[in-house]
Structure 1
Amino acid sequence: MHDIYGRNLDLNLLRVFVVVAEAGSVTAAAERLYLTQPAVSAALRRLASTVGTPLFVRAGRGLALTTRGERLLASARPHLGALVDATLSPVAFDPKTSERTVRIGLSDVTEVWLLPPLLRILAREAPRMRLVILPVQFRTVVEALTGATVDLAVTVADALPAGTRRIELFTGSFVCLFDPRHARIPKRLTLERYLEHEHVIVSYNGDLRGVIEDHFDVQRRVRVSVPSFQSIGALVDGSALLATVPAMVARDILRLRPHLKTTAVPLALQGTPLELLWRGAVDDDEAIRFIRDRVVQVTKDLWSGA
């Protein structure tokens, strides 16, 4: 490719050249371009200087293209037309035929309830679109969004960089999950009994602190700490362990293990809003907007049927 930037070629000069060639005169071209005649003439001189040869010659009261000018016109006109079309024409997005791949950051809590219905919608409405799911949580979502690792994310979040868009999907609550065959949990669980009991917790830091320790000045008797909610049902099932989990997680676990039970958490634990997040830079991306709208749709359908 020629070093057009090194030669200081102003591409606006080509637009002036094409209009002059089509109009046949500087005066007519100046009217079309809303420029003065001296400005058009100066642009033609600059372009001829860059090309290294005259592009027009006088022909009566107008101008005629030289051989070099004719060759330049034949080459420049279709490219300029394509540039104008690319600039002014919106990119057509058809979900039925789109083969876009959209990268979504999901927390382990979200993946279980969101992904299956979302994929069913895509099977009907956008059968060629593909999703890449990446793990995110509140400590990693900022890096994932700012680094464009994901196109959008569904998780809880604190402070976000300027330009980040966010929609609150819902605010969930927490419950205590246990196996009544092994854990003796009263109908009304007191804080004292809660703290005396052995717990399985989820810690994203890989320590013995979970959501309760982060929000209250207490420390539970932790028997095991795991990095995600995926194994909570299996760990509680058949054991005396108590797990404090989002109600949404408990609901999915109880579908598979209906013999387990839940009870209220004996602390004023407020749920954190689950949000749909994306960078403002992709706000106008129709494919990503399509997926965002379907995520919102899945969430509304889920909660309307809850």
Structure 2
Amino acid sequence: MHGIYEKDLDLNLIRVFVVVAEAGSVTEAASRLYLTQPAVSAALRRLTSTVGAPLFVRAGRGLALTTRGQRLFASARPHLQALVEAAVSPTTFDPKTSERTVRIGLSDANEAWLLPPLLRLLAEEAPRMKLIVIPVQFRTIAEALGSSAVDLAVTVADELPADTRRRTLFTGGFVCLFDPRHARLGKRLTLERYLEHEHVIVSYNGDLRGVVEDMFGIQRRVRVSVPTFQSIGALVEGSALLATVPERVAREIISLRPSLRTTTLPPEVEMGGAPMELLWRSTVEDDEAIRFMRGLVVRVSETAA
């Protein structure tokens, strides 16, 4: 590829050459190109010098292509037409026929409530489009967007590249998830009782610190630390373990495990929650397929609210 750029060839000369070949005369070509005849003639001389062989010969009042010129014309014309169409033709996107694959970054807290209804909408409105889900979270989302590893993402985020577009989907707090058959919390969960119980936490660092430890400096009795929310419901059910999870995660868990319950956290560790955001780079702002996918995510979020 570097060799192409190193060639001393002005590609505008190819454009002039193709028009002259089509018109059969410098005068007509100059008219079509909105150039003067001397400018067109000069361009042909430069191209002939670069090629190292005559491209035209006189034929009556016009010009005819030489064998070398015919070969260049046959190769250059379709490529030139494709380049012009790529530059000026509007993109067309039809979700019914599109076969695009979109890479969506999701924090694990969002897979359960977002993916099933999103796939149902795709089956109805864009049956040939495909999704690749990439795990992200607030520590990795900036790199994932910056490297174009994902086309869009749904997660909590802090500082992001300046060209990142953001849309808040919802803001939800945290609740305490428990199994009332094994964990007796009373009518109102106090900090003392909260700390008496053992906990299952989600730690992206692979340690025994969760969101409560990080935000309030309060150390819970952590029995198990897991890397995602996927197993939280199974671990809490049938045990006296408590789990502090986002409200929307708890809702999805209880829909599958109706024996579980939630209660508000003690005031000392109550968290309002950070906004869950839809994120994408400005470089794909005009990509119709990604814009379509963003619209579906917003619709699912509004329905799930």
TM exceeding 0.5: yes
Please tell me the residue identity of whatever aligns with 2:282.
Answer: G
Give CA deviations for 1:223-254 in whole Å, capped at 9, x if unaligned.
22111111111221122221111111111111
Contact 2:104/2:133 (<8 A) preserved: yes
AA aligned to 2:297 is V
Q: Work out the CA distance in 2 between the residues paired with 1:8 and 1:85.
A: 25
Are 1:200 and 2:210 matched, yes or no? Answer: no
Match of 1:300 among 294, 299, 302: 302
3-state SS in 2 of match to 1:80? helix
- Equivalent residue, structure 1, for 2:228: 228
Partner SS, residue 245 of structure 1: strand
Larger deviation, residues 270-279 vs 107-116: 270-279
User: Does the 8 Å CA contact 2:174/2:270 hold for their aligned counterparts?
Assistant: no
The farther-off stretch of 216-225 and 154-163 is: 216-225
Instruction: Show the 5 A alignment for 1:250-269.
Output: 250-266=250-266, 267-269=269-271
Q: What amino acid sits opposite 2:274 in the alignment?
A: T
Report what 1:179 is aligned to: 179
* Alpha-carbon separation, structure 2, partners of 1:6 and 1:253: 60
When the two structures are superposed, what TM-score results if normalisation uses the length of structure 1?
Answer: 0.90
1:62 positional shift:
5.0
Question: 2:288 is matched by which residue type in structure 1?
Answer: E
Quote the Cα distance in structure 2 between the aligned partners of 1:77 and 1:174: 63
Aligned length: 302
Equivalent position of 2:103 in the other structure: 103
CA distance in 2 between counterparts of 1:79 and 1:254 reads 59
Q: Deviations over 1:36-76 (max 9, x none)?
A: 44332221111011121222345566544444334433433
DSSP-derived class of the 2:131 partner: strand
1:200–1:222 contact (8 Å) kept in structure 2:
yes
With 233-242 and 293-302 compared, the bigger mean Cα shift is at 233-242
Partner Cα separation in structure 1 for residue 191 and residue 82 of structure 2: 70
Residue 32 of structure 2: aligned partner: 32
- What is the SS of the residue equivalent to 1:20? helix
The yes-or-no answer on 1:115 pairing with 2:115 is yes
1:216 aligns with: 216
Unmatched 5+ residue regions in structure 2?
Answer: none
Structure 1 counterpart of 2:127, one-letter code? P
Distance 1:241 1:71 in 2: 78
Give CA deviations for 1:58-107 in whole Å, capped at 9, x if unaligned.
55665444443344334332322222112222332222222222221111
Stretches of 4+ aligned residues off by more than 6 angstroms: none
Contact 1:103 1:134 in 2 (8 A): yes
Distance in 2, matches of 1:50 and 1:219, equals 75
C-alpha distance in 1 between matches for 2:67 and 2:11: 21
Distance in structure 1 (CA, Å) of the matches to 2:242 and 2:7 = 72
Tell me the SS of whatever aligns to 2:249. Answer: helix
CA distance in 2, matches of 1:215, 1:31: 72
Matched position secondary structure for 1:277: strand
In the TM superposition, 1:19-98 aligns within 5 A as 19-58=19-58, 62-98=62-98
2:273 alignment counterpart: 271
Q: Quick one: structure 1 residues 243 and 71, their matched pair in 2 at CA, closer, same or farther if it must change by over 3 Å?
A: closer
The two structures have a TM-score, normalised by structure 2, of 0.90
Alignment-derived partner of residue 141 in structure 1 = 141
Q: CA deviation at 1:271?
A: 0.8
Note if contact 1:199-1:221 (Cα within 8 Å) is conserved in structure 2: yes
Aligned 8 A contact 1:7 1:50 in 2: no
1:241 aligned onto 2:241: yes
Larger mean CA deviation between 241-250 and 26-35 belongs to 26-35
User: How far is the alpha carbon of 1:24 from its aligned partner?
Assistant: 4.2
Structure 1 unpaired stretches of 5+? none
* Cross-structure match for 2:284: 282
CA RMSD of aligned residues (A): 2.1
C-alpha contact 1:105 1:135 (8 A) present in aligned 2: yes
> 2 CA distance for matches of 1:4 and 1:294?
42
- Take 2:21 and 2:234, find their aligned partners in 1: how far apart are those partners? 77
Deviation, 1:259, is 2.0
- Percent identity over paired residues: 76
Deviation at 1:138, TM superposition (A): 0.9
SS in 2 for 1:186: coil
Name whichever of 249-258 and 57-66 sits farther off: 57-66
**Cα distance in structure 2, aligned partners of 1:260 and 1:69:** 79
Give SS of 2:54's match. coil
What CA distance in whole angstroms lies between the structure 1 residues aligned with 2:259 and 2:73? 79
Distance in 1 of aligned mates of 2:172 and 2:65: 72
